[in-house]
Structure 1
Amino acid sequence: MNFKELKLNKPIVRALFEKGYEEPTLVQERAIPVILHKKDIIVSAQTGTGKTAAYALPILQLLFDKQDAPKKGKKIRALIVCPTRELAIQIEENFKVYSAYTNLRTGVIFGGASIQPQKEMLKKGVDVLVATPGRLLDLHKQDIVNLDYVETLVLDEADLMLDMGFIDDVKKIERLCPDGKQTLLFSATMPYKVELLANSILKEPEYIEVSPTSSAAKGVHQVVYYVPKPKKIELCLHLLRNNIKGSVIIFRRTKYGVDKLEQTLLRNNYKAVSIHGDKAQSLRQQALNEFKKGEARILIATDVAARGIDIKNVDAVINFDIPNIAETYVHRIGRTARAGASGAALSFCSADEKAYVKDIQQLINLAIYVEEEHPYPLDPKAKPEVHKKKGSKHKKGRKSEASKKKKKRWY
């Protein structure tokens, strides 16, 4: 199937062609026709499956078919609400690319940045507004944002918005929009609280599930290193020097941990940048741009700061801290091996994180290969037994002849 068969108009197809899009992804193929029929929809899809285009393309199509207003005096007819500043910027960039040959205008508003330029942009008028909840409600209180003409409301990364405490804001935003609007809910996971939200605001939605979160990305070579917590930095430096080539995203659980690791890597002459919630928006965007352009080889991030960001050609992901939520592990390793490429996911597990590895293996139904040949092994007495219990559903991993030999492993 191609994009023409999805009944997208020539200006949008032309923009997709110039961007190098050849065929729709599965989530695009399944969601676009439903959205074009103006039905509410719930989509469960991981990051990297093409979900932004899955709602952006049909929204632009519907707006294009009805556009009759000049650039001045435009009303907000499509509203996309998402949890983080970085994701909002990325979504706006995608809308601008897809609508390059239309008369449609997109704008973005988010906190942590000067409010005046956003006010000026809104006064000029936009067809599509991408927003984070707090700044959107702030500008609505100031009578700068008018949601009376919204035809389509998108809640993107709904699970993360609820995790970040935005549920009341999301419900308020939904109530500020017209009753007859179309509502599209996209979420990487479908916990009970997301289902409750969906049931309360969507009308007879169609449910689409693509690449369920319990499945690890294909092409990712997963390895776990059992290591004492104080030795994780030494192991990280060892792997960066001897094993890992290319670009790397390193995940840490806390903002303090991100800053500490960044300082250590910089002292060791690695070009590293970082993003977390306490950094100014301009610094976060600068760090992302440097990493995307290859000016920095290493990006260190917390999960919230990195969620939903599309970064291509990441060679490896390091879980410096094992996530205590198994689904988060799947999100993290999905940053590499995108679009059919291969990549590595390396996890550093200390004694107090053993249970997290067990939960992850149960979720993905796969034994993660344990690398024992490294300079900082965990005390064997503290090492957990993994994927060896009788009756386990985990797939038994076997070492190949090559892996049994002592040699450098290049990821």
Structure 2
Amino acid sequence: MDFDMLGLAPRLVTKLAELGITDPTPIQAQAIPHAMNGRDVMGLAQTGTGKTAAFGLPMLDALMKNGEKPSPKTTRALILAPTRELAKQIADSLSAFSSGSHLKTVLVVGGAGITGQSRRLEKGTSILVATPGRLLDLIDRGAVRLDETQFLVLDEADQMLDLGFIHALRKIATLIPKERQTMLFSATMPKQMAELAESYLSNPIRVQVNPPGQAAEKIEQCIHFVAKAAKTDLLVELLDGHRDELALVFGRTKHGMEKLSRVLENKGFAVAAIHGNKSQGQRDRAIKDFKEGKVRVLVATDVAARGIDIPGVRHVYNYELPNVPDQYVHRIGRTARAGADGCAVAFCAPDEMSDLRDIEKTLKTTIPVASGRPWEVLGNEPKRKPAGNGRGGPRRFGNKGSGGAGKPKGDRPAFGKPAGDRPSFAKPAGGGQRRRKPQGNRAAG
């Protein structure tokens, strides 16, 4: 099947050919015909399978045939995405598909000047790509209204739920006419998705490529069981084996990834970092340099797990495992894009064994072991009991119902400090006043 057979306008098919896009992906082949018939669509497919074209091409086709110009401060089509990176990626793709036509695409996201975005919306736009928070800001300012919106797309809807956008989505939905076409695309299917689909979609057709939670078939996965302190050395060793190929490295924290990027830079790697502490300009430059090959290693938090569509990414490293299993699928989905092969390498420290179990349960498979042996110590570790001392106050690591601060039971130190370094406040010396500034290792009393 080719795009001609899907019924798209010849102008769009020609533009796709100019961009080197000739054969529809499975999600495109399934979703586009239904969307062109005006049906609401719920699409389930992993990242990297071509969802943007799946909802974008039928929408562009309809807007091109309509030919009407939008009224001032309105939009014909609204696309909502959870992150700035993903929103920009969608806007860039749609602009490329529609170049040379009368259609105009506007991007509005946080981290950029809202005044300039307001000005770009004054004359109206054919397509508005937005993150929910910034869109509500613009609506509150009177910069845009949604009463003439004919198409609504929710992309990566599961992540919007994860990020707490459900209330923003509900508010936005009340501002859009009920007579519209809605398309919802997601890589996973959490329980809340059924509620979201019921609220937004009318008699939708469901199209599905990979079962929710499954990783793309062309991704070769493996895991290294490695102590936390040895992760950086192992990462350097593995990256050193393919310095000329693009690699993404994911971790959990902003500060941790910033520190890791500096270490890799000192090791001679062309590296950049993107995370929540970076400005939008810094994040855009980092991704641009990564796409152009000026940067070979991109270190990121989950802000990039769904916002990077770079076919050249050959390797994805989970330096730290995510504590949300579905996020692992999205991270490794940054490789093996557009039909290419990819490699996903994960590191697992002892305290990440429960995360690994949850990930493998979601994948319904066991990730092949590249080195080391599965850690067992945390698997048998008893869970910490809920806090409480029987009198309504907090319990200090083993003071069971004593009512006072007391001393930890056994050899277990309180608050993570070595037992010998912690001064005791249980009893003032000689029955006098409580000591204000305990010194050294000397216990008071």
Q: What secondary structure, in the 3-state scheme, does the structure 1 residue paired with 2:346 have? A: strand
Shift of 1:237: 1.3
Moved more, 60-69 or 313-322: 60-69
Separation in 2, partners of 1:340, 1:218:
10
Which residues of structure 1 form unaligned runs of 5+?
Answer: 386-411
- Counterpart amino acid of residue 46 in structure 1: Q
- Counterpart amino acid of residue 5 in structure 1: M
Separation in 2, partners of 1:278, 1:118:
22
Name the structure 2 match of 1:132: 131
Separation in 1, partners of 2:24, 2:138:
36
Q: For this pair of structures, how many residues does the alignment match?
A: 380
Name the structure 2 match of 1:119: 118
Q: Deviations over 1:325-380 (max 9, x none)?
A: 222222222222223322211111001112222333333333322123xxxx5797
Name the structure 2 match of 1:310: 309
Larger Rg computed on CA atoms: 2
Aligned ranges for residues 265-280 of structure 1 at < 5 Å?
265-280=264-279
Shift of 1:159: 0.8
Separation in 2, partners of 1:173, 1:155:
11
Is the Cα–Cα contact under 8 Å of residues 11 and 99 in structure 1 kept in the other structure? no
Name the structure 2 match of 1:42: 42
Separation in 1, partners of 2:326, 2:264:
28
Name the structure 1 match of 2:298: 299
Separation in 2, partners of 1:36, 1:290:
37
Separation in 2, partners of 1:106, 1:205:
26
Q: CA RMSD in A?
A: 2.1
Moved more, 321-330 or 221-230: 321-330
Shift of 1:276: 1.2
Is the Cα–Cα contact under 8 Å of residues 158 and 186 in structure 1 kept in the other structure? yes
Moved more, 51-60 or 117-126: 117-126
Name the structure 1 match of 2:18: 18
Moved more, 209-218 or 270-279: 209-218
Q: Deviations over 1:367-405 (max 9, x none)?
A: 322123xxxx579775989xxxxxxxxxxxxxxxxxxxx
Shift of 1:95: 0.8
Name the structure 1 match of 2:163: 164
Shift of 1:246: 1.1
Shift of 1:125: 2.2
Shift of 1:73: 5.2
Q: Does 1:220 align with 2:219?
A: yes
Q: What secondary structure, in the 3-state scheme, does the structure 2 residue paired with 1:189 have? A: coil
Q: What secondary structure, in the 3-state scheme, does the structure 1 residue paired with 2:211 have? A: coil
Separation in 2, partners of 1:340, 1:80:
25
Q: Deviations over 1:197-233 (max 9, x none)?
A: 1112221111111112332222322111111111111
Shift of 1:243: 6.1
Name the structure 2 match of 1:389: none
Name the structure 2 match of 1:251: 250
Q: Deviations over 1:250-288 (max 9, x none)?
A: 000111221111111112221111111221000000000
- Counterpart amino acid of residue 174 in structure 1: A
Separation in 1, partners of 2:367, 2:374:
19
Shift of 1:110: 0.8
- Counterpart amino acid of residue 171 in structure 1: R
Shift of 1:180: 0.9
Separation in 2, partners of 1:326, 1:58:
33
Q: What secondary structure, in the 3-state scheme, does the structure 1 residue paired with 2:224 have? A: strand
Moved more, 332-341 or 276-285: 332-341
Separation in 2, partners of 1:220, 1:369:
12
Is the Cα–Cα contact under 8 Å of residues 87 and 309 in structure 1 kept in the other structure? yes
Name the structure 2 match of 1:367: 366
- Counterpart amino acid of residue 23 in structure 1: D
Is the Cα–Cα contact under 8 Å of residues 174 and 201 in structure 1 kept in the other structure? yes
Q: What secondary structure, in the 3-state scheme, does the structure 1 residue paired with 2:44 have? A: strand
Q: Deviations over 1:103-147 (max 9, x none)?
A: 111111111111122111111321111011111111111111021
Is the Cα–Cα contact under 8 Å of residues 245 and 315 in structure 1 kept in the other structure? no
Separation in 2, partners of 1:243, 1:102:
42
Is the Cα–Cα contact under 8 Å of residues 316 and 336 in structure 1 kept in the other structure? yes
Separation in 1, partners of 2:224, 2:354:
14
Q: What secondary structure, in the 3-state scheme, does the structure 1 residue paired with 2:337 have? A: coil
Q: Deviations over 1:280-324 (max 9, x none)?
A: 000000000000100001001111333142111111111000122
Moved more, 313-322 or 339-348: 339-348
Q: Deviations over 1:152-203 (max 9, x none)?
A: 1111111111111111101111111112111111111110112111112221
Shift of 1:75: 4.0
Separation in 2, partners of 1:358, 1:207:
30
Shift of 1:236: 1.0
Moved more, 247-256 or 334-343: 334-343
Separation in 2, partners of 1:379, 1:275:
31
Moved more, 188-197 or 332-341: 332-341
Separation in 1, partners of 2:138, 2:364:
46
- Counterpart amino acid of residue 152 in structure 2: L
Q: What secondary structure, in the 3-state scheme, does the structure 2 residue paired with 1:160 have? A: helix
Name the structure 2 match of 1:197: 196
Separation in 2, partners of 1:380, 1:348:
12
Separation in 1, partners of 2:61, 2:73:
17
Which residues of structure 2 form unaligned runs of 5+?
Answer: 381-445
Name the structure 2 match of 1:208: 207
CA distance 1:115–1:231, change in 2 (3 Å): same
Name the structure 2 match of 1:179: 178
Is the Cα–Cα contact under 8 Å of residues 223 and 348 in structure 2 kept in the other structure? yes
The normalised TM-score by structure 2 is 0.81
- Counterpart amino acid of residue 167 in structure 1: I
Q: Does 1:81 align with 2:80?
A: yes
Is the Cα–Cα contact under 8 Å of residues 74 and 125 in structure 1 kept in the other structure? yes
Separation in 1, partners of 2:63, 2:228:
53
Separation in 2, partners of 1:279, 1:5:
44
